[in-house]
Structure 1
Protein backbone atom coordinates (compact mmCIF):
# COMPACT_ATOMS: atom_id res chain seq x y z
CA UNK A 1 0.00 0.00 0.00
CA UNK A 2 1.36 3.43 -0.89
CA UNK A 3 0.78 6.70 0.93
CA UNK A 4 -2.29 7.54 -1.16
CA UNK A 5 -4.18 4.23 -1.11
CA UNK A 6 -6.61 2.99 1.51
CA UNK A 7 -7.13 -0.68 2.26
CA UNK A 8 -9.56 -2.43 -0.08
CA UNK A 9 -9.59 -5.34 2.35
CA UNK A 10 -10.86 -3.03 5.09
CA UNK A 11 -13.69 -1.95 2.79
CA UNK A 12 -14.69 -5.55 2.07
CA UNK A 13 -14.65 -6.43 5.78
CA UNK A 14 -16.82 -3.42 6.64
CA UNK A 15 -19.25 -4.30 3.86
CA UNK A 16 -19.54 -7.85 5.22
CA UNK A 17 -20.36 -6.57 8.71
CA UNK A 18 -23.03 -4.30 7.27
CA UNK A 19 -24.45 -7.02 5.02
CA UNK A 20 -24.73 -9.48 7.91
CA UNK A 21 -27.64 -7.51 9.36
CA UNK A 22 -29.37 -7.33 5.97
CA UNK A 23 -28.66 -10.66 4.28
CA UNK A 24 -28.40 -13.16 7.14
CA UNK A 25 -31.19 -14.19 9.47
CA UNK A 26 -31.29 -14.00 13.23
CA UNK A 27 -29.62 -14.86 15.48
CA UNK A 28 -27.05 -12.29 14.45
CA UNK A 29 -23.47 -13.11 15.37
CA UNK A 30 -22.35 -9.49 15.58
CA UNK A 31 -24.39 -6.30 15.31
CA UNK A 32 -22.44 -3.42 13.83
CA UNK A 33 -25.15 -0.77 13.72
CA UNK A 34 -22.86 2.04 12.53
CA UNK A 35 -20.89 0.63 9.65
CA UNK A 36 -23.61 1.00 6.99
CA UNK A 37 -23.79 4.74 7.64
CA UNK A 38 -19.99 4.91 7.60
CA UNK A 39 -19.89 3.31 4.15
CA UNK A 40 -22.01 6.19 2.87
CA UNK A 41 -22.59 6.17 -0.88
CA UNK A 42 -20.81 2.81 -1.23
CA UNK A 43 -23.19 1.00 1.12
CA UNK A 44 -26.01 0.16 -1.28
CA UNK A 45 -23.73 -1.25 -3.97
CA UNK A 46 -21.64 -3.29 -1.53
CA UNK A 47 -24.59 -4.66 0.44
CA UNK A 48 -26.47 -5.24 -2.80
CA UNK A 49 -23.69 -7.53 -3.95
CA UNK A 50 -24.20 -9.63 -0.82
CA UNK A 51 -27.97 -9.58 -1.43
CA UNK A 52 -27.51 -10.92 -4.93
CA UNK A 53 -24.74 -13.44 -4.33
CA UNK A 54 -24.68 -13.80 -0.53
CA UNK A 55 -24.93 -17.60 -0.49
CA UNK A 56 -21.66 -17.93 -2.42
CA UNK A 57 -18.89 -19.30 -0.18
CA UNK A 58 -16.59 -16.30 -0.60
CA UNK A 59 -19.25 -13.84 0.58
CA UNK A 60 -20.88 -15.99 3.26
CA UNK A 61 -17.39 -17.01 4.40
CA UNK A 62 -16.26 -13.42 4.80
CA UNK A 63 -19.42 -12.56 6.75
CA UNK A 64 -18.86 -15.52 9.07
CA UNK A 65 -15.19 -14.62 9.49
CA UNK A 66 -15.60 -10.94 10.32
CA UNK A 67 -18.61 -11.35 12.59
CA UNK A 68 -17.20 -14.27 14.59
CA UNK A 69 -13.83 -12.64 15.22
CA UNK A 70 -15.41 -9.32 16.23
CA UNK A 71 -17.90 -11.06 18.53
CA UNK A 72 -15.10 -12.92 20.30
CA UNK A 73 -12.87 -9.87 20.65
CA UNK A 74 -15.46 -7.39 21.88
CA UNK A 75 -16.88 -9.94 24.34
CA UNK A 76 -13.39 -10.30 25.81
CA UNK A 77 -12.95 -6.52 25.87
CA UNK A 78 -16.18 -6.13 27.85
CA UNK A 79 -14.92 -8.67 30.39
CA UNK A 80 -11.56 -6.94 30.76
CA UNK A 81 -13.07 -3.45 30.91
CA UNK A 82 -15.35 -4.59 33.74
CA UNK A 83 -12.17 -5.63 35.58
CA UNK A 84 -10.60 -2.21 34.99
CA UNK A 85 -8.56 -2.67 31.79
CA UNK A 86 -8.12 0.98 30.70
CA UNK A 87 -6.72 0.71 27.15
CA UNK A 88 -7.81 -0.94 23.91
CA UNK A 89 -5.49 -1.04 20.89
CA UNK A 90 -6.94 -2.03 17.49
CA UNK A 91 -4.15 -2.96 15.08
CA UNK A 92 -5.14 -2.67 11.43
CA UNK A 93 -8.34 -0.95 12.52
CA UNK A 94 -9.63 -0.25 9.01
CA UNK A 95 -13.27 0.81 9.32
CA UNK A 96 -13.75 -0.52 12.85
CA UNK A 97 -16.68 1.20 14.59
CA UNK A 98 -16.27 0.09 18.19
CA UNK A 99 -15.55 3.60 19.44
CA UNK A 100 -18.71 4.89 17.77
CA UNK A 101 -20.96 2.11 19.08
CA UNK A 102 -20.22 1.74 22.77
CA UNK A 103 -20.18 4.10 25.74
CA UNK A 104 -17.50 1.78 27.09
CA UNK A 105 -15.08 4.31 25.65
CA UNK A 106 -15.94 6.54 28.60
CA UNK A 107 -13.80 4.16 30.66
CA UNK A 108 -11.44 2.79 28.02
CA UNK A 109 -9.01 4.76 25.87
CA UNK A 110 -9.17 3.43 22.30
CA UNK A 111 -6.19 3.53 19.94
CA UNK A 112 -6.90 2.76 16.29
CA UNK A 113 -3.66 1.79 14.54
CA UNK A 114 -3.45 1.62 10.76
CA UNK A 115 -1.69 2.91 7.69
CA UNK A 116 -2.02 6.72 7.48
CA UNK A 117 -3.79 6.53 4.09
CA UNK A 118 -6.47 4.22 5.49
CA UNK A 119 -6.92 6.49 8.49
CA UNK A 120 -7.35 9.59 6.34
CA UNK A 121 -9.98 7.72 4.35
CA UNK A 122 -11.84 6.63 7.48
CA UNK A 123 -11.82 10.12 8.97
CA UNK A 124 -13.21 11.51 5.72
CA UNK A 125 -15.98 8.88 5.83
CA UNK A 126 -16.78 9.77 9.45
CA UNK A 127 -17.06 13.44 8.53
CA UNK A 128 -19.23 12.74 5.48
CA UNK A 129 -21.56 10.57 7.57
CA UNK A 130 -21.78 13.15 10.36
CA UNK A 131 -20.35 10.68 12.86
CA UNK A 132 -18.28 12.23 15.64
CA UNK A 133 -15.19 10.41 16.86
CA UNK A 134 -15.21 10.36 20.68
CA UNK A 135 -12.47 12.16 22.57
CA UNK A 136 -11.15 8.87 23.94
CA UNK A 137 -10.27 7.70 20.42
CA UNK A 138 -6.74 8.20 19.11
CA UNK A 139 -5.71 7.59 15.50
CA UNK A 140 -2.18 6.17 15.37
CA UNK A 141 -0.61 6.05 11.91
CA UNK A 142 1.73 3.06 11.50
CA UNK A 143 3.26 1.11 8.64
CA UNK A 144 3.66 -2.37 10.16
CA UNK A 145 6.49 -3.21 7.78
CA UNK A 146 8.70 -0.29 8.87
CA UNK A 147 7.48 1.56 12.00
CA UNK A 148 8.07 0.88 15.71
CA UNK A 149 4.56 0.28 17.05
CA UNK A 150 5.11 1.08 20.70
CA UNK A 151 6.89 4.35 19.98
CA UNK A 152 4.01 5.49 17.78
CA UNK A 153 1.44 4.49 20.41
CA UNK A 154 3.30 6.24 23.21
CA UNK A 155 3.46 9.42 21.15
CA UNK A 156 -0.37 9.31 21.11
CA UNK A 157 -0.67 9.11 24.92
CA UNK A 158 -0.75 5.33 25.22
CA UNK A 159 0.61 4.32 28.62
CA UNK A 160 3.16 1.52 28.08
CA UNK A 161 3.26 0.82 31.84
CA UNK A 162 -0.47 -0.03 31.97
CA UNK A 163 -2.03 -3.23 30.53
CA UNK A 164 -4.14 -3.11 27.38
CA UNK A 165 -6.17 -5.39 25.18
CA UNK A 166 -4.62 -5.51 21.71
CA UNK A 167 -6.74 -6.85 18.85
CA UNK A 168 -5.06 -7.79 15.59
CA UNK A 169 -7.74 -9.10 13.26
CA UNK A 170 -7.56 -9.65 9.52
CA UNK A 171 -4.02 -8.32 9.24
CA UNK A 172 -1.24 -10.84 9.91
CA UNK A 173 -1.84 -12.86 6.73
CA UNK A 174 -1.10 -9.74 4.65
CA UNK A 175 2.31 -9.20 6.29
CA UNK A 176 5.62 -10.94 5.89
CA UNK A 177 6.68 -13.28 8.68
CA UNK A 178 9.39 -10.77 9.57
CA UNK A 179 6.83 -7.98 10.02
CA UNK A 180 4.58 -10.23 12.12
CA UNK A 181 7.52 -11.07 14.38
CA UNK A 182 8.51 -7.42 14.68
CA UNK A 183 4.98 -6.43 15.74
CA UNK A 184 4.80 -9.27 18.27
CA UNK A 185 8.13 -8.09 19.68
CA UNK A 186 6.61 -4.63 20.18
CA UNK A 187 3.55 -6.09 21.90
CA UNK A 188 5.85 -8.15 24.12
CA UNK A 189 7.34 -4.87 25.37
CA UNK A 190 3.97 -3.76 26.71
CA UNK A 191 2.99 -4.01 30.36
CA UNK A 192 2.58 -7.46 31.93
CA UNK A 193 -1.07 -8.48 31.79
CA UNK A 194 -1.55 -7.02 28.33
CA UNK A 195 -3.66 -9.38 26.23
CA UNK A 196 -3.42 -9.99 22.50
CA UNK A 197 -6.17 -11.42 20.30
CA UNK A 198 -4.68 -12.17 16.90
CA UNK A 199 -6.18 -13.72 13.79
CA UNK A 200 -3.88 -15.87 11.67
CA UNK A 201 -4.14 -17.93 8.50
CA UNK A 202 -3.60 -21.67 8.60
CA UNK A 203 -1.31 -23.41 6.11
CA UNK A 204 -3.08 -25.43 3.42
CA UNK A 205 -2.53 -28.76 5.17
CA UNK A 206 -4.59 -27.75 8.24
CA UNK A 207 -7.64 -26.24 6.54
CA UNK A 208 -10.88 -28.21 6.48
CA UNK A 209 -12.62 -28.80 3.15
CA UNK A 210 -14.78 -25.68 3.32
CA UNK A 211 -11.86 -23.66 4.68
CA UNK A 212 -9.63 -24.78 1.82
CA UNK A 213 -12.20 -23.69 -0.77
CA UNK A 214 -12.77 -20.37 1.00
CA UNK A 215 -9.03 -19.66 1.38
CA UNK A 216 -8.35 -20.40 -2.28
CA UNK A 217 -10.96 -17.86 -3.38
CA UNK A 218 -10.09 -15.31 -0.70
CA UNK A 219 -6.38 -15.46 -1.52
CA UNK A 220 -7.04 -15.02 -5.24
CA UNK A 221 -9.32 -12.03 -4.62
CA UNK A 222 -6.85 -10.43 -2.23
CA UNK A 223 -3.96 -10.87 -4.64
CA UNK A 224 -6.03 -9.31 -7.41
CA UNK A 225 -6.56 -6.26 -5.16
CA UNK A 226 -2.81 -6.03 -4.59
CA UNK A 227 -3.01 -7.34 -1.01
CA UNK A 228 -1.80 -10.98 -1.19
CA UNK A 229 -1.67 -13.34 1.79
CA UNK A 230 1.99 -13.65 2.80
CA UNK A 231 2.18 -15.52 6.11
CA UNK A 232 0.68 -18.73 7.48
CA UNK A 233 1.12 -20.44 10.85
CA UNK A 234 0.29 -23.72 12.47
CA UNK A 235 -0.91 -23.22 16.07
CA UNK A 236 2.34 -24.75 17.29
CA UNK A 237 4.48 -22.43 15.17
CA UNK A 238 2.60 -19.36 16.30
CA UNK A 239 2.71 -20.42 19.96
CA UNK A 240 6.49 -20.73 19.68
CA UNK A 241 6.78 -17.33 18.00
CA UNK A 242 4.62 -15.71 20.67
CA UNK A 243 6.71 -17.31 23.41
CA UNK A 244 9.88 -15.93 21.83
CA UNK A 245 8.45 -12.46 22.36
CA UNK A 246 7.23 -12.92 25.94
CA UNK A 247 3.60 -13.82 25.21
CA UNK A 248 1.98 -16.84 26.87
CA UNK A 249 -0.82 -18.50 24.88
CA UNK A 250 -4.16 -18.89 26.64
CA UNK A 251 -6.04 -20.53 23.77
CA UNK A 252 -6.25 -21.08 20.03
CA UNK A 253 -9.81 -20.70 18.79
CA UNK A 254 -11.44 -22.14 15.67
CA UNK A 255 -14.07 -19.98 14.02
CA UNK A 256 -16.86 -22.29 15.15
CA UNK A 257 -15.62 -21.93 18.76
CA UNK A 258 -15.44 -18.12 18.72
CA UNK A 259 -19.17 -17.71 19.47
CA UNK A 260 -21.80 -19.67 21.37
CA UNK A 261 -22.83 -22.91 19.59
CA UNK A 262 -26.44 -21.79 19.21
CA UNK A 263 -25.34 -18.93 16.94
CA UNK A 264 -24.28 -21.50 14.34
CA UNK A 265 -27.68 -23.25 14.39
CA UNK A 266 -28.89 -21.37 11.37
CA UNK A 267 -31.26 -21.43 8.41
CA UNK A 268 -29.07 -19.35 6.13
CA UNK A 269 -25.73 -19.68 4.32
CA UNK A 270 -23.61 -18.55 7.28
CA UNK A 271 -21.40 -21.46 8.36
CA UNK A 272 -17.95 -21.54 10.00
CA UNK A 273 -14.84 -22.52 8.06
CA UNK A 274 -11.41 -23.49 9.33
CA UNK A 275 -9.05 -21.38 7.25
CA UNK A 276 -8.14 -18.75 9.85
CA UNK A 277 -8.07 -19.00 13.64
CA UNK A 278 -7.74 -16.71 16.63
CA UNK A 279 -5.11 -16.92 19.32
CA UNK A 280 -5.33 -15.22 22.71
CA UNK A 281 -2.08 -14.61 24.56
CA UNK A 282 -0.87 -12.56 27.52
CA UNK A 283 2.33 -10.62 28.11
CA UNK A 284 4.07 -12.39 30.97
CA UNK A 285 5.87 -11.03 33.98
CA UNK A 286 9.01 -10.54 31.96
CA UNK A 287 7.25 -8.16 29.54
CA UNK A 288 7.27 -4.41 29.55
CA UNK A 289 10.92 -4.15 28.61
CA UNK A 290 12.14 -1.02 26.86
Structure 2
Protein backbone atom coordinates (compact mmCIF):
# COMPACT_ATOMS: atom_id res chain seq x y z
CA UNK A 1 0.00 0.00 0.00
CA UNK A 2 1.37 3.38 -0.94
CA UNK A 3 1.23 6.20 1.59
CA UNK A 4 -0.51 9.40 0.56
CA UNK A 5 0.59 11.40 3.59
CA UNK A 6 3.43 13.87 3.44
CA UNK A 7 5.24 12.06 6.26
CA UNK A 8 5.04 8.64 4.61
CA UNK A 9 8.50 8.48 3.08
CA UNK A 10 10.12 9.59 6.31
CA UNK A 11 8.18 6.98 8.30
CA UNK A 12 9.21 4.25 5.86
CA UNK A 13 12.88 5.26 5.97
CA UNK A 14 12.90 5.23 9.77
CA UNK A 15 11.19 1.85 9.95
CA UNK A 16 13.57 0.46 7.32
CA UNK A 17 16.55 1.67 9.36
CA UNK A 18 15.23 -0.03 12.50
CA UNK A 19 14.51 -3.24 10.60
CA UNK A 20 17.87 -3.24 8.81
CA UNK A 21 19.73 -2.82 12.09
CA UNK A 22 18.77 -6.39 12.99
CA UNK A 23 19.87 -7.68 9.58
CA UNK A 24 23.02 -5.71 8.81
CA UNK A 25 24.68 -4.68 12.06
CA UNK A 26 26.47 -6.81 14.60
CA UNK A 27 24.95 -8.24 17.76
CA UNK A 28 24.05 -7.22 20.34
CA UNK A 29 21.61 -4.78 18.83
CA UNK A 30 21.38 -1.25 20.17
CA UNK A 31 17.60 -1.38 19.69
CA UNK A 32 15.33 -4.28 18.77
CA UNK A 33 12.17 -3.62 16.78
CA UNK A 34 10.90 -6.98 15.48
CA UNK A 35 7.84 -5.38 13.88
CA UNK A 36 9.68 -2.75 11.83
CA UNK A 37 10.04 -5.08 8.85
CA UNK A 38 6.36 -6.05 8.99
CA UNK A 39 5.37 -2.40 9.01
CA UNK A 40 7.22 -1.83 5.74
CA UNK A 41 4.52 -3.86 4.01
CA UNK A 42 5.00 -4.55 0.34
CA UNK A 43 8.03 -2.25 0.19
CA UNK A 44 10.07 -4.26 2.70
CA UNK A 45 12.30 -6.11 0.25
CA UNK A 46 13.03 -3.03 -1.83
CA UNK A 47 13.94 -0.86 1.16
CA UNK A 48 15.95 -3.48 3.00
CA UNK A 49 17.87 -4.43 -0.15
CA UNK A 50 19.73 -1.11 -0.06
CA UNK A 51 20.86 -1.65 3.53
CA UNK A 52 21.94 -5.22 2.80
CA UNK A 53 23.85 -4.26 -0.34
CA UNK A 54 25.29 -0.93 0.79
CA UNK A 55 25.03 -1.07 4.59
CA UNK A 56 28.38 0.63 5.10
CA UNK A 57 27.41 3.70 3.08
CA UNK A 58 27.54 6.74 5.41
CA UNK A 59 23.94 7.78 4.68
CA UNK A 60 22.46 4.34 5.32
CA UNK A 61 24.65 3.69 8.36
CA UNK A 62 23.83 7.17 9.62
CA UNK A 63 20.11 6.53 9.22
CA UNK A 64 20.40 3.33 11.25
CA UNK A 65 22.51 5.02 13.91
CA UNK A 66 20.03 7.86 14.30
CA UNK A 67 16.93 5.67 14.33
CA UNK A 68 18.14 3.11 16.84
CA UNK A 69 19.92 5.54 19.18
CA UNK A 70 16.94 7.86 19.65
CA UNK A 71 14.47 4.97 20.02
CA UNK A 72 16.69 3.19 22.53
CA UNK A 73 17.10 6.29 24.67
CA UNK A 74 13.38 7.12 24.64
CA UNK A 75 12.16 3.64 25.47
CA UNK A 76 14.81 3.24 28.17
CA UNK A 77 13.51 6.45 29.71
CA UNK A 78 9.93 5.22 29.40
CA UNK A 79 10.85 2.03 31.25
CA UNK A 80 12.34 4.08 34.06
CA UNK A 81 9.27 6.31 34.31
CA UNK A 82 6.76 3.47 34.22
CA UNK A 83 8.68 1.98 37.12
CA UNK A 84 7.79 5.16 38.99
CA UNK A 85 4.11 4.92 38.10
CA UNK A 86 3.85 6.96 34.89
CA UNK A 87 1.20 5.27 32.76
CA UNK A 88 0.75 7.55 29.73
CA UNK A 89 2.98 7.71 26.64
CA UNK A 90 2.27 10.30 23.95
CA UNK A 91 4.08 9.76 20.64
CA UNK A 92 4.03 12.93 18.55
CA UNK A 93 4.43 12.18 14.85
CA UNK A 94 4.09 8.45 15.54
CA UNK A 95 4.61 7.33 11.94
CA UNK A 96 5.35 3.60 11.92
CA UNK A 97 6.34 3.43 15.57
CA UNK A 98 5.63 -0.09 16.80
CA UNK A 99 5.97 0.26 20.57
CA UNK A 100 2.29 -0.33 21.34
CA UNK A 101 2.23 -3.56 19.33
CA UNK A 102 5.42 -5.31 20.48
CA UNK A 103 6.68 -4.09 23.85
CA UNK A 104 6.04 -5.77 27.17
CA UNK A 105 5.85 -2.26 28.61
CA UNK A 106 2.86 -1.48 26.40
CA UNK A 107 0.54 -3.32 28.76
CA UNK A 108 1.53 -0.93 31.56
CA UNK A 109 0.88 2.35 29.76
CA UNK A 110 -1.81 3.99 27.69
CA UNK A 111 -0.27 4.93 24.33
CA UNK A 112 -1.48 7.92 22.33
CA UNK A 113 -0.24 7.95 18.73
CA UNK A 114 -0.48 11.49 17.37
CA UNK A 115 -0.04 12.01 13.64
CA UNK A 116 -1.49 13.53 10.48
CA UNK A 117 -4.93 12.12 9.67
CA UNK A 118 -3.80 10.69 6.31
CA UNK A 119 -0.75 9.07 7.91
CA UNK A 120 -2.94 7.42 10.52
CA UNK A 121 -5.38 6.08 7.95
CA UNK A 122 -2.43 4.56 6.10
CA UNK A 123 -1.00 3.01 9.25
CA UNK A 124 -4.33 1.57 10.38
CA UNK A 125 -4.87 0.04 6.95
CA UNK A 126 -1.36 -1.41 7.10
CA UNK A 127 -2.05 -2.90 10.53
CA UNK A 128 -5.14 -4.59 9.12
CA UNK A 129 -3.27 -5.86 6.04
CA UNK A 130 -0.49 -7.37 8.14
CA UNK A 131 -2.82 -8.86 10.74
CA UNK A 132 -1.36 -6.68 13.49
CA UNK A 133 -3.98 -6.10 16.14
CA UNK A 134 -4.10 -2.70 17.82
CA UNK A 135 -4.38 -3.37 21.57
CA UNK A 136 -6.99 -1.55 23.68
CA UNK A 137 -4.17 0.47 25.25
CA UNK A 138 -3.46 2.43 22.05
CA UNK A 139 -5.43 5.45 20.85
CA UNK A 140 -5.01 7.22 17.51
CA UNK A 141 -5.13 11.01 17.76
CA UNK A 142 -5.31 12.77 14.36
CA UNK A 143 -3.45 16.09 14.41
CA UNK A 144 -1.82 18.26 11.77
CA UNK A 145 0.84 20.15 13.71
CA UNK A 146 0.91 23.00 11.21
CA UNK A 147 -2.85 23.50 11.20
CA UNK A 148 -3.69 23.11 14.89
CA UNK A 149 -4.52 26.16 16.98
CA UNK A 150 -3.29 26.77 20.53
CA UNK A 151 -4.78 24.22 22.90
CA UNK A 152 -6.28 21.95 20.28
CA UNK A 153 -3.61 19.23 20.70
CA UNK A 154 -4.53 18.90 24.36
CA UNK A 155 -8.23 18.89 23.56
CA UNK A 156 -7.81 16.08 21.03
CA UNK A 157 -5.71 14.04 23.44
CA UNK A 158 -8.29 14.44 26.21
CA UNK A 159 -11.05 13.36 23.82
CA UNK A 160 -9.00 10.21 23.17
CA UNK A 161 -8.76 9.42 26.89
CA UNK A 162 -5.62 11.28 27.94
CA UNK A 163 -5.66 12.34 31.60
CA UNK A 164 -4.15 15.86 31.74
CA UNK A 165 -3.92 15.71 35.53
CA UNK A 166 -1.46 12.77 35.46
CA UNK A 167 2.15 12.90 34.23
CA UNK A 168 3.17 11.35 30.94
CA UNK A 169 6.19 10.79 28.77
CA UNK A 170 5.97 12.64 25.47
CA UNK A 171 8.25 11.45 22.67
CA UNK A 172 8.81 13.70 19.65
CA UNK A 173 11.39 12.04 17.42
CA UNK A 174 12.27 12.80 13.81
CA UNK A 175 9.63 15.50 13.42
CA UNK A 176 10.64 19.03 14.43
CA UNK A 177 12.92 19.58 11.45
CA UNK A 178 9.90 19.32 9.12
CA UNK A 179 7.83 21.91 11.01
CA UNK A 180 7.78 25.69 11.15
CA UNK A 181 8.99 27.39 14.35
CA UNK A 182 5.42 28.44 15.13
CA UNK A 183 4.12 24.86 14.92
CA UNK A 184 6.93 23.76 17.23
CA UNK A 185 6.09 26.55 19.68
CA UNK A 186 2.38 25.63 19.77
CA UNK A 187 3.17 21.98 20.39
CA UNK A 188 5.64 22.76 23.16
CA UNK A 189 3.09 25.12 24.74
CA UNK A 190 0.58 22.27 24.83
CA UNK A 191 3.07 19.92 26.47
CA UNK A 192 4.05 22.66 28.93
CA UNK A 193 0.45 22.65 30.11
CA UNK A 194 0.44 18.95 30.98
CA UNK A 195 0.64 17.71 34.56
CA UNK A 196 3.80 18.49 36.56
CA UNK A 197 6.26 15.63 36.29
CA UNK A 198 5.52 15.10 32.61
CA UNK A 199 8.69 14.56 30.60
CA UNK A 200 9.35 15.48 26.99
CA UNK A 201 12.05 13.98 24.77
CA UNK A 202 12.25 16.04 21.59
CA UNK A 203 14.77 15.49 18.82
CA UNK A 204 16.05 18.55 16.97
CA UNK A 205 18.55 18.80 14.13
CA UNK A 206 21.57 21.03 14.54
CA UNK A 207 22.40 23.89 12.14
CA UNK A 208 25.38 23.46 9.83
CA UNK A 209 27.88 25.21 12.09
CA UNK A 210 27.22 22.82 14.96
CA UNK A 211 27.56 19.53 13.06
CA UNK A 212 30.73 17.51 12.78
CA UNK A 213 32.11 16.38 9.42
CA UNK A 214 30.03 13.20 9.33
CA UNK A 215 26.90 15.08 10.37
CA UNK A 216 27.44 17.71 7.70
CA UNK A 217 27.94 15.12 4.96
CA UNK A 218 24.80 13.26 6.05
CA UNK A 219 22.77 16.47 6.18
CA UNK A 220 23.87 17.59 2.71
CA UNK A 221 22.80 14.27 1.21
CA UNK A 222 19.55 13.78 3.09
CA UNK A 223 18.33 17.37 3.11
CA UNK A 224 18.34 17.55 -0.67
CA UNK A 225 16.55 14.21 -1.01
CA UNK A 226 13.94 15.20 1.56
CA UNK A 227 13.20 18.44 -0.27
CA UNK A 228 12.81 16.60 -3.58
CA UNK A 229 10.29 14.26 -1.95
CA UNK A 230 8.21 17.16 -0.64
CA UNK A 231 9.46 16.99 2.95
CA UNK A 232 11.96 19.88 3.27
CA UNK A 233 13.80 20.55 6.49
CA UNK A 234 12.30 23.78 7.82
CA UNK A 235 13.70 24.28 11.31
CA UNK A 236 17.22 23.57 12.61
CA UNK A 237 17.97 24.44 16.21
CA UNK A 238 21.05 24.73 18.35
CA UNK A 239 20.73 23.80 22.00
CA UNK A 240 20.54 27.44 23.09
CA UNK A 241 17.64 28.07 20.71
CA UNK A 242 15.89 24.90 21.85
CA UNK A 243 16.47 25.89 25.45
CA UNK A 244 14.74 29.22 24.86
CA UNK A 245 11.82 27.53 23.13
CA UNK A 246 11.34 25.05 25.96
CA UNK A 247 11.58 27.55 28.81
CA UNK A 248 9.33 29.97 26.95
CA UNK A 249 6.57 27.37 26.86
CA UNK A 250 6.67 26.37 30.50
CA UNK A 251 9.13 23.47 30.31
CA UNK A 252 12.34 23.05 32.30
CA UNK A 253 15.24 21.63 30.26
CA UNK A 254 17.02 18.79 32.04
CA UNK A 255 19.66 17.65 29.54
CA UNK A 256 20.65 17.64 25.89
CA UNK A 257 21.67 14.17 24.81
CA UNK A 258 24.05 13.60 21.90
CA UNK A 259 23.99 10.34 19.96
CA UNK A 260 27.14 9.11 21.69
CA UNK A 261 25.40 9.53 25.06
CA UNK A 262 22.22 7.57 24.27
CA UNK A 263 23.86 4.28 25.27
CA UNK A 264 26.83 3.20 27.36
CA UNK A 265 30.20 3.97 25.72
CA UNK A 266 31.00 0.25 25.39
CA UNK A 267 28.06 -0.17 23.02
CA UNK A 268 29.76 2.10 20.49
CA UNK A 269 32.83 -0.15 20.41
CA UNK A 270 31.65 -1.87 17.26
CA UNK A 271 33.04 -3.55 14.16
CA UNK A 272 30.03 -2.63 12.01
CA UNK A 273 29.40 0.77 10.39
CA UNK A 274 27.45 2.38 13.23
CA UNK A 275 29.19 5.44 14.64
CA UNK A 276 27.67 8.32 16.63
CA UNK A 277 27.89 11.67 14.88
CA UNK A 278 26.87 15.28 15.49
CA UNK A 279 23.63 15.78 13.59
CA UNK A 280 20.80 15.79 16.10
CA UNK A 281 20.22 16.22 19.81
CA UNK A 282 17.58 14.79 22.13
CA UNK A 283 16.30 17.53 24.41
CA UNK A 284 14.84 16.18 27.66
CA UNK A 285 12.63 18.56 29.61
CA UNK A 286 10.08 18.33 32.40
CA UNK A 287 6.92 20.17 33.33
CA UNK A 288 7.80 21.74 36.71
CA UNK A 289 5.56 22.10 39.71
CA UNK A 290 3.46 25.20 39.40
Shorter-chain TM-score category?
over 0.9
Residue by residue over 1:124-162, the C-alpha shift from the partner in whole angstroms, topping out at 9 and shown as x without a partner, is 111111111110000000000112211111110101111
Distance 1:62 1:261 in 2: 20
SS in structure 1 of the partner of residue 40 of structure 2: helix
Aligned counterpart, 2:247:
243
Kindly tell me: are residues 6 and 275 of structure 1, through their superposed partners in 2, closer, same or farther at Cα, counting changes over 3 Å?
Answer: closer
Aligned counterpart, 1:13:
14
Aligned length: 285
Are the counterparts in 1 of residues 5 and 116 from structure 2 also a CA contact under 8 Å?
Answer: no
SS in structure 2 of the partner of residue 279 of structure 1: strand
Distance 1:7 1:186 in 2: 25
Distance 2:156 2:4 in 1: 17
Deviation at 1:27, TM superposition (A): 2.3
Distance 1:241 1:157 in 2: 28
Aligned counterpart, 1:173:
177
SS in structure 1 of the partner of residue 32 of structure 2: coil
Structure 2 unaligned spans of 5+: none
**What is the aligned counterpart of 2:287 among 280, 283, 286?**
283
TM-score, normalised on structure 1? 0.96
Deviation at 1:55, TM superposition (A): 1.1
Are the counterparts in 1 of residues 115 and 141 from structure 2 also a CA contact under 8 Å?
Answer: yes
Distance 1:80 1:111 in 2: 16
Kindly tell me: are residues 180 and 267 of structure 1, through their superposed partners in 2, closer, same or farther at Cα, counting changes over 3 Å?
Answer: same
Q: Does 1:210 align with 2:211?
A: no
Aligned counterpart, 2:88:
87
Are the counterparts in 2 of residues 112 and 139 from structure 1 also a CA contact under 8 Å?
Answer: yes
Structure 1 unaligned spans of 5+: none
Aligned counterpart, 2:24:
23
Aligned counterpart, 2:267:
263
Aligned counterpart, 1:105:
106
Are the counterparts in 1 of residues 7 and 231 from structure 2 also a CA contact under 8 Å?
Answer: no
Q: Does 1:61 align with 2:62?
A: yes
Are the counterparts in 2 of residues 90 and 113 from structure 1 also a CA contact under 8 Å?
Answer: yes
Aligned counterpart, 2:202:
198
Are the counterparts in 2 of residues 161 and 190 from structure 1 also a CA contact under 8 Å?
Answer: yes
Kindly tell me: are residues 232 and 4 of structure 1, through their superposed partners in 2, closer, same or farther at Cα, counting changes over 3 Å?
Answer: closer
TM-score, normalised on structure 2? 0.96
Are the counterparts in 2 of residues 6 and 117 from structure 1 also a CA contact under 8 Å?
Answer: no
Are the counterparts in 1 of residues 6 and 231 from structure 2 also a CA contact under 8 Å?
Answer: no
SS in structure 2 of the partner of residue 250 of structure 1: strand
Deviation at 1:4, TM superposition (A): 5.4
Deviation at 1:261, TM superposition (A): 1.1
Q: Does 1:160 align with 2:161?
A: no
Residue by residue over 1:8-46, the C-alpha shift from the partner in whole angstroms, topping out at 9 and shown as x without a partner, is 101110011001100111121100011112222211111
Are the counterparts in 1 of residues 111 and 139 from structure 2 also a CA contact under 8 Å?
Answer: yes
Distance 1:102 1:66 in 2: 17
- Correspondences of 1:178-189 after superposition (within 5 Å): 178-189=182-193
CA RMSD of aligned residues (A): 1.3
Deviation at 1:71, TM superposition (A): 0.2
Kindly tell me: are residues 3 and 127 of structure 1, through their superposed partners in 2, closer, same or farther at Cα, counting changes over 3 Å?
Answer: closer
Are the counterparts in 2 of residues 3 and 116 from structure 1 also a CA contact under 8 Å?
Answer: no
**What is the aligned counterpart of 2:277 among 263, 270, 273?**
273
Aligned counterpart, 1:125:
126
Q: Which moved more, 1:100-109 or 1:155-164?
A: 100-109
